[in-house]
Amino acid sequence: MTLDNPFPWADELDCAVTVCDTEGVVLYQNDRSREVNGDVQGRSLLPCHNERSRAIIRRLAEEGGKNVYTIEKRGVKKLIYQTVWRADGTIRGLVEFSLELPDQLPHYVRS
């Protein structure tokens, strides 16, 4: 099953958005996600990850929560934000936002 463009606003975002179900099957990718990862809708994302990452995906799908970290790949820094999505209060899967970060990132403390 794939989601037939449930988020038209997400298609042209300048970040990658990938949505999967609780089994890791990709339900939706925006344009940027398909550029970066190829079109993997309808396929499991689990084989693309190592055992540590698969354990995190399983834990999030079962318990909820989020997994947030930064990476650098080919000189590009990215913020990866993975969290669950729910329907009627029940975890239905995960969504990942992958945002490119500038070399100099301001940090503000607000009260």
Cα–Cα–Cα angle for 40, 1, 19, rounded to 5 degrees? 55
Q: What is the pLDDT of residue 11?
A: 83
Which residues, given as ranges, of the chain have pLDDT below 50? 1-2
- In the chain, the domains with their CATH numbers are 13-101 (3.30.450.20)
This model's pTM is above 0.85: yes
Do the Cβ atoms of 72 and 78 come closer than 8 Å?
A: yes
Q: Helical H runs in the chain?
A: 31-37, 51-63
CA distance 111 to 85: 29
Mind listing the pLDDT tens digit for each residue in 79-111?
999 999 999 999 999 999 999 999 999 999 999
